[in-house]
Structure 1
Amino acid sequence: MKKSYLLFMAMLAFTLIVHAQTANDNPRERLWQTFLTPPDSIRVGCYYYWVNEQVDPKGVVADLEWMKENGITLAFLATDIRNRTTSDNPWEGQAFGKNKFQSRLWWKNLRTALKTAGRLGIEMGLFNCPGWSQSGGPWVKPEEAMRNWTSHGIEVCKTKEGTDVMCSPCSPDAQGLEVDKLSKVHVQKHFEAFIGEILRRIPQKDRPTLTTVVVDSWERGKQNYTDSIFSKFRQRYGYELDYTNPDCKKDLDRLIADLVASEYMGGLTEKAHQYGLRTWCEPYAHSPFPANSITYGSAADEVAAEFWVGDRKFRQKEVDAALGSARRSGKNRVWAESFTDGWPELAKDDWSFEKLKPIADRYFHAGINASILHVMISQPGDDSKPAVRPWFGTYFDRRSQHASDLKPLVTYLRRCNFMLQLGKPLDGANDCRILSDGTVICFTDDSLFEVTFPDGHQELWNPMQGITTTGME
């Protein structure tokens, strides 16, 4: 028995070696195997939100282990999201926990998250301010904030309701003025006050996989003034800026758009690079946008679109902004914040693989080739406590009633992301790629990959290969 077993093991080892050599020598087989099991560099990520200060260390560890178990190896953490039940009265019915902004527990939870992510091999990003939009905090002084010239003088920018423009939506202790987007000095001071402080307080050994600074879509309106606006205007156009002269408006708008790209996004990217980090941004707006999406997005290291579950219309604006930025600046990856929704009647825990797959496919055809799930909400470490449920997003967390569909969904997205990131776009087509050896890969209307090899041989590869989900045959 012992000799027979040893002979069997020797034959098995020989077979595996021959198979591995054959796969390595056969480009088709090598591509097929990598398609089935993409490399670790192909990461499906998630927005990871801490909502209403209801966060504890045990829950943070469980959150990240849940991500890893289901194939999510990239998480963008927003630390201080505030929930709300209605738009008219956002504070009604809100309960807050003990994870107060920059409290001892807050720092413990953040260190736990970054250290656990390192242990699990999950790449991490941090939103560049409390909340998700845009860039602000309690450290921003009025003279460093977004400001407008008015007939009454220089004023901090205000919302239509009349309150100062602040980072949002975030918990009370974390909220503060939005920083001046036309001043690199003020922007980089903001960076140091939040991201810089985190990097100083948490040593590199406890954050080995922290790589990214995140900037979400623009939701903070416009500004038209900064300290040096008059000199910058004169230097560029050769005449004096006069806010009361309507003939100045076109030149002023162009200058502001360029400054938002160079001073704000460029300033964040420059500072991030000094710390060995990169920037990731969504170069479009959900409010009046004072910038040009293409130049703005080109100033970041990575760009993303966004798409929703319940919205039947195609989000052309968001896709064009991200795709255009990527093409102009030579970026291969075009991300999408995926499966967003909002308000109590739209935030979902009734999702399924079958429901979400065709939505993703539509955006793969449009040029999206990297996926960030929206959203993963931190849940209490004690599962007997009620789940934390916000007004936005599709609930992918470990308390979701469709948790068993997450791993198949992630597997499917990773395979599609892998194939659509290969090579370069073929003749400008968003859903066709060409490899250096001439192999052409196209994502078909049937959600299959048509692979045409250099000798003309064609095959159809199914990204659903071997994937099973609850309720599917």
Structure 2
Amino acid sequence: MIKLIRFFLFIIILGISVNSQAQIKAAINPENVFLNPPESANPGVLWMWMGSNLSKSGITKDLEALKKEGFNRTTMFSLADVTTPWAGEIGKSPTPELISWTEPWWKLVRHAAEESKRLNMDFGMFNGPSYESSGGPWITPELSMQEICWGQTDVAGNKHISLKINKPKVNPRGNTPWPIYNPKTGLVEKPEIEARNTFYKDIAVIALPATGIVAKQNVIDLTSKMNADGQLEWDAPAGNWIIYRFGHTTTGTLIQPAQWKATGLECDKMSQQAIDFHLDHVIGEIQKHLGDLVGKSFTHVHFDSYEAGDPSWTAKMREEFSARRGYDLLPYLATFAKRTVGNNEESAKFKDDFGATIKDLYRDVYFATIAKKLKKANLTFLAEPYGGPWRQDEVMPFVGKVMTEFWTHKGKYAPYELDPTVAALRKSGQNIIEAEAFTGDPQDSKWNETPAWLKSMGDASFCAGVNRLILHRFVQQPWDDKYKPGATMGQWGTHFDRTQTWWEPGKAMIEYWKRCQALLQWGRINDAKDDFIVSEKTGNADINHIHRSEGNIDVYFVANTNRSPGNAKCTFSIAGKQPELWDPMTGTMRDLPEFEEQNGSTSIQLNFEDSQSYFIVFRKPSEKKSKGNNFPSNKLLGMLDGSWSVKFDEVWGGPKNSVGFKTLTDWTKNADNGIKYYSGTALYTKNFNAEYLSTQNKQDLKLDLGTVKHIASIKLNNVDLGVVWTAPWIVKIPQGLLKKTNNKIEIAVTNVWANRLIGDEQEPADMEWLPGHMNSGSFLKEFPDWFLNNKPRPSKGRYTFTTWNYFTKDSPLISSGLLGPVKIVYSENK
């Protein structure tokens, strides 16, 4: 019996061992992750809940749409109705009871967590109302960020001084980095904060000679000689003196941009009491309302990039400074009043030591406490740990998942604190590097963004080390689907929404990102110098790369991050291996037959369309016998010229019946306003013959769409050929599908929302708008009655509904449609 048990144990262990080895082998094989990206390669979104504009059904639709598209994480922010960029309010809300962090709002958060569990998605949220930074209505002035303040009184000495020293006065307006929209005054301003007049705590009272540099021992501490009412009794030595009363008050820094009823003070990041109180409140509310979902479908709490300003005090600063720096700061308080104590060098040293203490406290109180408390609650600490008064490399080890960011500034990739964050993460050995991705301002992102436009910027971030995109932004759409484009974040962000015209075909872009991110998470970063050299360039391609490796396998991501074609000789510090080209656009892999080996390197001539990218993989011995071209030229076989039948969607203003296009032309040049201002998808249909087919040229056929504005889904003879969304605008035609006669092609072309929005501006207004605060558009003043009562809108020629308007009737239209020429081509590989 014992022998039998041992035998079965041996079989089980052997099975485990074999299975483990198979798993390890699969994990180190880049082909597996490229063809079957793991969940970690799925992108996520920053999910913006805009004020009271929320609904249970909309939350479900959002999550289902994201899951279907290929996303698996949402991080929710509860903001104002719109961002102007400050907090803006839309009047006559249909659901005014939905105030962030109140009971009705928490019911929707619970619903989102339950739906995330059902869909096997990862859900979390920011650590309070707004996106900046850590605070809320629950933060009292005593627990808020603090600033040092002082008043001074001149006295003559050599006598007894008996006088009342008044409390220092400060500007009642908050000491905050940014103004806000103040609904009490209707102005964008730094509002008056009542607590700056009512809250004050003493630090010390000191006396200094009235003029000149003061020796430390000549600073006199009078704190014990003043009573609680400010009455000072002091036998002053001879001479002229200045009495300084130092204290601290709230900075008055408000979180933003939250609903006004949810707005409160930023907490003191250097106070253990304040941070404990804030986090206990946040975590307590999460546990109270989400309970069994915490640590399961609700997984993380986020802290965004820091914009709360620099505090200058905390309640225990004197004790903390003495413990950390080894001397008392009291004699040096006068340096805040621009006095020199000791000498210039000594005063400068104090200022450096004071700044170092602030950095220490942010590390040891703010970041350490967040990490400890979230871990205890089984929640992950997400953060963009930059922009604040701390040492980035010291605080990042506390963060469970670090996120960096890049913007779409002036149509270009614009990283913000990205390179140092990536460097610090690599130093700490972290592999997955997330990025708040494609954050856009109104000059770049006004319902005119396209997947092709986005591609080069995403690729640039990949080359910089990012390997998981978290898109900025996805807005909660609470209303019926007839109200499109729907709710916006206001002026900020690239419009990734389920109401976006190209949302469904845009899934092809998500698949591209998943393949890229899978390989960019595989293996380890290889940052050896001079391991990749670009030479003999032609055209305007801007070629960047990143290199990863594992064992004897090397993977290079090589991308043209310019929207212009070109080619170049690319030299890799690898020899003796067969280069392969893995195309993340299509998921295909092939050998590159043309390459040269010299001095331990492999040189390959690579051709790039605009914004094109490849993985160049070295994993097997080189095959010198292989023949052919790396990039076989495409030869014209036949043109699909002549007329097309085009069907627009009448719901969005298109003609009721199909329209005949004698030639492929831009929609915006059409005399029919229903086409000129059309936004959405139009189906191009054509029947054609292909008599030019022969046995010699039907082996490697492709369909070349020429110019597409802006994304196209293609069917040939009822077979789905996929989606083209960026250059090259070509799809492969499966062998045997094209016939000599009686072929049918269907091309569904989708443009952007801008044209329909501009078209609507040609019509009488039926909504009121207020100007945004950066000359970047207008936001909805109030919800119109026809919307609230679900009635037909008064302006019959208007089709769109949104909360932010970038356009006037004179705004330029965006070129749209299938412009072609559409061709059948074949590859000639010699």
TM-score by length of 1: 0.85
Matched, 1:356 2:451: no
Inter-partner Cα distance in structure 1 for 2:574 and 2:290: 49
Matched, 1:421 2:521: yes
1:261 partner letter: R
Compared CA separation, residues 267 and 30, structure 1 to 2 (3 A) = same
Inter-partner Cα distance in structure 2 for 1:201 and 1:29: 42
Matched, 1:444 2:444: no
Identity %: 28
Identify the residue that residue 192 of structure 1 maps to in structure 2: 280
Deviation at 1:255, TM superposition (A): 1.4
Cα offsets for 1:38-96 (capped at 9, x unmatched): 01232310000100210010000000001001000011011234413366xx5476664
Identify the residue that residue 367 of structure 2 maps to in structure 1: 265
Matched, 1:280 2:382: yes
Inter-partner Cα distance in structure 1 for 2:385 and 2:315: 25
Alignment check: 8 A CA contact 1:214 1:280 kept? yes
**More displaced, 198-207 or 136-145?**
198-207
**More displaced, 96-105 or 207-216?**
96-105
Inter-partner Cα distance in structure 2 for 1:92 and 1:201: 27
Say which SS state the counterpart of residue 45 (structure 2) adopts.
Answer: strand
Deviation at 1:427, TM superposition (A): 3.4
2:487 partner letter: V
Inter-partner Cα distance in structure 1 for 2:575 and 2:85: 57
Identify the residue that residue 473 of structure 2 maps to in structure 1: 375
Matched, 1:411 2:511: yes
Inter-partner Cα distance in structure 2 for 1:175 and 1:121: 33
Structure scoring higher RCO (CA < 8 A, sep ≥ 6) equals 1
Deviation at 1:324, TM superposition (A): 3.0
Compared CA separation, residues 32 and 453, structure 1 to 2 (3 A) = farther
Deviation at 1:432, TM superposition (A): 1.2
1:255-334 to 2 correspondences below 5 Å = 255-285=357-387, 289-311=388-410, 315=414, 317-334=416-433
Deviation at 1:233, TM superposition (A): 0.7
Compared CA separation, residues 182 and 384, structure 1 to 2 (3 A) = same
Alignment check: 8 A CA contact 2:304 2:383 kept? yes
1:433 partner letter: R
Cα offsets for 1:283-328 (capped at 9, x unmatched): 222xxx3222222333211112111123456545511232133123
Say which SS state the counterpart of residue 312 (structure 2) adopts.
Answer: coil
Inter-partner Cα distance in structure 2 for 1:192 and 1:228: 20
Say which SS state the counterpart of residue 262 (structure 1) adopts.
Answer: helix
Compared CA separation, residues 312 and 355, structure 1 to 2 (3 A) = closer
TM-score by length of 2: 0.50
Matched, 1:434 2:578: no
Inter-partner Cα distance in structure 2 for 1:235 and 1:368: 40
Structure 2: which 5+ runs fail to align?
A: 1-21, 152-167, 178-189, 193-251, 336-346, 530-544, 562-569, 588-721, 731-830
Inter-partner Cα distance in structure 2 for 1:324 and 1:312: 25
Matched, 1:249 2:351: yes
Could you say which structure has the larger radius of gyration? 2
1:21-100 to 2 correspondences below 5 Å = 31-85=30-84, 91=88, 96=93, 97-98=95-96, 99-100=98-99
**More displaced, 90-99 or 295-304?**
90-99
2:333 partner letter: Y
> Which structure carries more helix by proportion?
1
RMSD between aligned alpha carbons? 3.0
Matched, 1:230 2:318: yes
1:403 partner letter: W
Say which SS state the counterpart of residue 370 (structure 2) adopts.
Answer: helix
**More displaced, 108-117 or 75-84?**
75-84
2:421 partner letter: A
1:279 partner letter: F
Inter-partner Cα distance in structure 2 for 1:145 and 1:28: 48
Alignment check: 8 A CA contact 2:81 2:90 kept? no
1:301 partner letter: G
Inter-partner Cα distance in structure 1 for 2:376 and 2:283: 12
Inter-partner Cα distance in structure 1 for 2:504 and 2:328: 63
Identify the residue that residue 115 of structure 1 maps to in structure 2: 114
Inter-partner Cα distance in structure 1 for 2:285 and 2:23: 47
Deviation at 1:183, TM superposition (A): 2.1
Compared CA separation, residues 26 and 314, structure 1 to 2 (3 A) = closer
Matched, 1:468 2:566: no
Deviation at 1:253, TM superposition (A): 0.7
Q: Could you tell me which of 478, 492, 501 is aligned with 1:392?
A: 492
Alignment check: 8 A CA contact 2:301 2:382 kept? yes
Say which SS state the counterpart of residue 41 (structure 1) adopts.
Answer: helix
Compared CA separation, residues 94 and 350, structure 1 to 2 (3 A) = farther
Structure 1: which 5+ runs fail to align?
A: 1-22
Inter-partner Cα distance in structure 2 for 1:25 and 1:366: 28
> Which structure carries more strand by proportion?
2
Inter-partner Cα distance in structure 2 for 1:402 and 1:418: 24
Deviation at 1:179, TM superposition (A): 0.6
1:459 partner letter: E
Q: How many residues align?
A: 444
Say which SS state the counterpart of residue 403 (structure 1) adopts.
Answer: coil
Deviation at 1:330, TM superposition (A): 2.3
Alignment check: 8 A CA contact 1:118 1:207 kept? no
Identify the residue that residue 158 of structure 1 maps to in structure 2: 175
Deviation at 1:30, TM superposition (A): 5.1
Identify the residue that residue 8 of structure 1 maps to in structure 2: none
